[in-house]
Amino acid sequence: MTDNAGLPQKALVQFDCKGHATGKMRNDLEVMMKLPFEEGPFILATDEGSFHGGDASAPPPLALFVAGLTGCIMTQIRAFAKRLKVSLNDLDVETRVVWDWEAKGRIYETGPRSFEIDVMIDSSDAVEKVVELINAAKKGCFLEQTLGQANTIRHRMKTPDGWVEV
């Protein structure tokens, strides 16, 4: 069964990323959408500044993370404004993400502290309609929905004998 846009009622959405270490701290990344259809590849890179011994030749991973979160909610607001018939004259979003950082000997540990997203919408529609739009966009933003729940992240390491869970 499909909706009026020809999309299925339910689908899996999958992105794959292959990363290769290059330079001092640079990582070259190739991202592909695999499901529900193929799109890409999208070529990205990350690097670190001098703190980690990098050349700052690309944004650090955290910058891409915050940019992805901001872009995700903006995309959903714009897409859903059309579907909900909310006028959107202008849109600005400001996102702040704060992490705790603590030295642990020669390494450090981190944890999320706060995620704040300020949405500025210029619309001729009633405030209630704009609030409905933002609430719908929050539910449709893959990254926001991921951050809003506990997740299990698996890590595997390739060995000569196969994969080992780490």
Q: What is the pTM of this model?
A: 0.88
Residue 60 tokens read as 């650090």
What pLDDT does 2 receive? 45
Give ranges for CATH 3.30.300.20 in the chain.
60-166
What pLDDT does 8 receive? 81
Residue 133 tokens read as 């739009």
pLDDT tens per residue, the chain (166 residues)? 445 566 789 999 999 999 999 989 999 999 999 999 999 999 999 999 998 989 999 999 999 999 999 999 999 999 999 999 999 999 999 999 999 999 999 999 999 999 999 999 999 999 999 999 999 999 999 999 999 999 999 999 999 999 999 9
DSSP per-residue codes, 25-89: TEEEEEEEEEESS-EEEEEEEE---GGGT----S--HHHHHHHHHHHHHHHHHHHHHHHHT---S
CATH number of 60-166: 3.30.300.20
